């Protein structure tokens, strides 16, 4: 049996409602169906997939059910977005396709960024995609000012106008020149106390506080270099010339392997995440489709990226 035949959206909707409600009757009431119909949908899905998806007493997902629930959310979100897109096309059949503007801060979410863009291009080949590089000051403003539609950023924007989903979670690193005494710790790692005197680069005053807290490991007193940087390339210019130190996620080292720069893991700080951010009230179906695809890929690729 093909996967398309198995993934009946009605069955998925009933299954996901039971998982989220933890009860067949409550799920039925939420869907305006009878409990018997919801039970039949779950049984059909289990039969089609050849595995038990729900424990019955009490109701809880099996390991297979947990996995399917994540896929179900993605598929249903994509389906709803597709219906919105068709409805929009019916209202304005002659309208030209608006490009989807994708903002990327630094290297975004590592390998997940190009994978998400390529997946969207395959799914929506008629929708133009514009990639826009964001600097450190545009952590929030690019979305709020409608210059991009989705944005790969870090950390999560502290702004109620923006919704952000975790894509990857990684160890933190600092970037120092080869001449730094800390460079010897590239394999063993360093502690927060070891980096206290590093001359971290400076960002403009209008950079969001959320980003500067991330950049300086939540320490306002962290030593600053006169070297001002807005992009990873400018950070590394300061690093290799001995004028500044930088910080980032572990995957930064894969994308910016500059001669003269050394990347040192910081062992005693929490891991940090990269995010896909969108406007909270954006009803654009293309944004919803891109978001659903990125989240599906994050579940598949995330552990490999953060390893």
Looking at the fold, whether 10 and 80 belong to one and the same domain comes out as yes
Whole-number pLDDT of residue 280: 95
- Say if residue 176 is in the same domain as residue 165: no
Residues 206, 191 share a domain: yes
In contact, 201 and 233? CB cutoff 8 Å: no
When divided into structural domains, the chain yields a total of 3
71 has a pLDDT exceeding 60? yes
Range 53-72 average pLDDT: 89
Tell me the whole-structure pTM to 2 decimals.
0.73
Same domain, yes or no, for 223 and 84?
Answer: no
- Residue 73 and residue 217 in one domain: no
Local confidence band at 306 (pLDDT 50, 70, 90 cut-offs)? low
74 shares its domain with 213: no
Chosen domain end from 66, 91, 116: 91
Chain centroid, CA 294 distance in Å:
7
Task: Report the CATH number at residue 15.
Answer: 1.10.10.10
pLDDT tens by residue, 214-259? 999 998 778 899 999 999 999 999 999 999 999 999 999 999 999 9
Using one digit for the tens of pLDDT, what is the confidence trace for 163-211?
A: 999 999 999 999 999 999 999 999 999 999 999 999 999 999 999 999 9
193 and 226 housed in the same domain: yes
Determine the pLDDT at residue 1.
Answer: 36
CATH of the domain at 113: 3.40.190.10
* pLDDT of 82 higher than 80: no
Task: Indicate if the pLDDT at residue 15 is higher than 70.
Answer: yes
The model's pLDDT over 111-157, given as tens digits with 9 standing for 90+, comes to: 999 999 999 999 999 999 999 999 999 999 999 999 999 999 999 99
Q: What is the pLDDT of residues 263-291, one digit of tens each?
A: 999 999 999 999 999 999 999 999 999 99
Average pLDDT across the chain, whole number = 89
Quick one: 224 and 247 in the same domain? yes
Euclidean distance between CA atoms 41 and 60, whole angstroms: 16
Same domain, 260 and 142: no
Q: Residue 3 — pLDDT band, cuts 50, 70, 90?
A: very low
Residues 213 and 234 in one domain: yes
C-alpha span between 165 and 301 (Å, rounded): 15
The pLDDT value given to residue 307: 57
Are residue 232 and residue 84 in the same domain, yes or no? no
Provide the pLDDT for residue 301.
79
Burial of 87 (0-12, 13-18, 19+ CB in 10 A): exposed
Range of the domain at 54: 3-91
* pLDDT, position 2: 39
The pLDDT value given to residue 94:
42
Which of 69, 91, 113 is the last residue in one of the domains?
Answer: 91
Band of residue 79 on the pLDDT scale cut at 50, 70, 90: confident
pLDDT, position 85:
65
Last residue of a domain, one of 56, 91, 126: 91
Residue 160 and residue 11 share a domain: no
pLDDT tens digits, 19-41 = 999 999 998 888 888 889 889 99
pLDDT-derived band at 6 (thresholds 50, 70, 90) equals very low
pLDDT-derived band at 4 (thresholds 50, 70, 90) equals very low
């Amino acid at each position: 049996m093909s996967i398309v035949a198995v993934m009946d959206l009605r069955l998925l909707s009933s299954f996901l409602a039971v998982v989220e409600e933890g009860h067949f009757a409550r799920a039925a009431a939420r869907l305006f169906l009878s409990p018997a119909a919801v039970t039949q949908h779950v049984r059909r899905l289990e039969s089609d997939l050849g595995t038990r998806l729900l424990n019955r007493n009490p109701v809880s997902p099996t390991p297979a059910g947990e996995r399917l629930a994540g896929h179900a959310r993605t598929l249903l979100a994509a389906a709803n977005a597709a219906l919105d897109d068709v409805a929009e096309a019916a209202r304005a059949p002659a309208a030209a396709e608006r490009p989807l503007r994708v903002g990327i801060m630094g290297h975004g979410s590592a390998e997940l960024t190009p994978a998400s863009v390529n997946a969207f291009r395959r799914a929506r080949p008629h929708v133009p995609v514009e990639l826009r590089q964001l600097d450190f000051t545009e952590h929030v403003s690019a979305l709020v000012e409608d210059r991009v539609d989705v944005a790969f950023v870090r950390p999560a924007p502290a702004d109620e106008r923006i919704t952000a989903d975790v894509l990857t979670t990684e160890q933190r690193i600092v970037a120092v020149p080869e001449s730094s005494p800390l460079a010897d710790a590239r394999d063993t790692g360093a502690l927060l106390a070891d980096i206290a005197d590093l001359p971290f680069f400076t960002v403009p005053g209008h950079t969001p506080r959320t980003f500067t807290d991330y950049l300086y490991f939540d320490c306002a007193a962290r030593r600053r270099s006169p070297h001002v940087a807005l992009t990873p390339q400018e950070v590394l210019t300061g690093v290799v010339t001995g004028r500044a130190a930088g910080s980032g996620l572990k995957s930064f080292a894969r994308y910016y392997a500059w001669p003269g720069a050394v990347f040192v893991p910081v062992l005693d700080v929490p891991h940090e995440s990269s995010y896909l951010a969108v406007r909270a009230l954006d009803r654009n179906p293309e944004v919803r489709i891109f978001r659903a695809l990125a989240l599906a890929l994050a579940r598949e690729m995330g552990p490999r990226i953060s390893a």
